[in-house]
Chains A and B, each alone.
Chain A
C-alpha cells in the first residue's frame, strides 16, 4: 500500500507570493495533519482536518489555511510568503478516531522563500 504522498517535493518562491502544497493520505485514513519543520527544530503543528472539518489549529498566522476534500486529500495554502516560511512542510495521516492514534508522515515539501 502507498504511504502518505506529498507534492511538490521542492518549491522556490519569492516573498509576497502564495503557495499551495498537496497531500494524499494513506488509503482509509480520514484525518490529515500539517506540520512545519524548520532547521534544527522538531515539527510544529499547523492544522488537523478530519472529515473535511478543522479539528485543531496551531499557533500560526491567518496567512496559513488548509482544507480537506471528499477523498480525504488535503491542501495547505500560505499567502504573502515571508522569508521565515522557508521550511520542510510535513503532512501526516491517521484513521481519525482520536484514541491515541499513530500519525504516519509523508516525505515532505521543502519550501524555500527568497
Chain B
C-alpha cells in the first residue's frame, strides 16, 4: 500500500519558470511532511518541511503548500535554475502515532530544467 504517492515520474520546466511538484498521501496520521532532493550517487538532501498545523512554508525559492482536506502537498520552485535538475522525494512522518521517526517516501519525480 503506497501511502505517499508522486504520480508524475518526470517533469521538464524552462529555466526561470515555476516548477510545481505534487504529492498525495493516504494516511491521515501523518503530521509532518518533507521534501528531499537527490542527485545521482548522493544521499537525499533536505529542502523544506511543513507541519500539519500550517498550510504554507517558504524558504527562499522554495515554497511548500499543504492541503490537509485533500491530503495533498506541493513544492513550488521559483525561479527554476539548471542546478535544480534532480529527483525530488516527498516524505511524511507521524511520530506521535508510531513512536518513531519513520519517514514514508514517495517514488520520486525527476525534474529537468531546460536552459
Q: Tell whether A and B belong to one assembly.
A: yes
A interface list, Cβ under 8 A from B:
4, 6, 31, 33, 35, 40-45, 48, 55-56, 58, 90, 92, 94, 98-108
* Number of residues from B at the complex interface, CB < 8 A: 28
Query: Which residues of B22-40 are within 8 A (CB) of A?
Result: 31-32, 34, 36
Which residues of A have CB within 8 Å of B34? 102-103
Decide if B43 touches A98 in the complex (CB within 8 Å).
no
Interface flags, B62-84, vs A, CB<8A=1, else 0: 00000000000000000000000
The listed residue (A4, A44, A101) touching B101 by CB distance below 8 A is A101
**B93: interface (CB < 8 Å):** yes
Cβ distance A71 to chain B, nearest Cβ, rounded Å: 20
Which residues of B have CB within 8 Å of A104? 46
Interface flags, B92-115, vs A, CB<8A=1, else 0: 010100111111111110000000
A42, A55, A56: most-surrounded residue (chain B CB, <10 A): A42
B interface list, Cβ under 8 A from A:
4, 31-32, 34, 36, 41-46, 49, 51, 89, 91, 93, 95, 98-108
Decide if B43 touches A4 in the complex (CB within 8 Å).
yes
Which residues of A have CB within 8 Å of B108? 41-42
23 cross-chain CB contacts under 8 A? A31-B101, A42-B4, A42-B105, A43-B103, A43-B105, A44-B105, A48-B102, A56-B99, A56-B102, A90-B44, A92-B103, A98-B100, A100-B31, A100-B95, A101-B101, A102-B34, A102-B49, A103-B46, A105-B36, A105-B43, A105-B45, A107-B41, A107-B42
Question: What residue in chain A is nearest B45 (Cβ atoms)?
Answer: A105
Which residues of B have CB within 8 Å of A33? 101-103
Which residues of B have CB within 8 Å of A94? 101
Which residues of A have CB within 8 Å of B46? 102-105
Question: What residue in chain A is nearest B102 (Cβ atoms)?
Answer: A45
Which residues of A have CB within 8 Å of B99? 55-56, 98
Question: What residue in chain A is nearest B93 (Cβ atoms)?
Answer: A100
Q: Given known contacts A55-B101, A56-B98, A94-B101, is B107 in contact with A41 (CB within 8 Å)?
A: yes
A4, A94, A105, A106: most-surrounded residue (chain B CB, <10 A): A105
Taken together as a complex, chains A and B put the C-alpha atoms of A104 and B43 apart, in Å, by 9
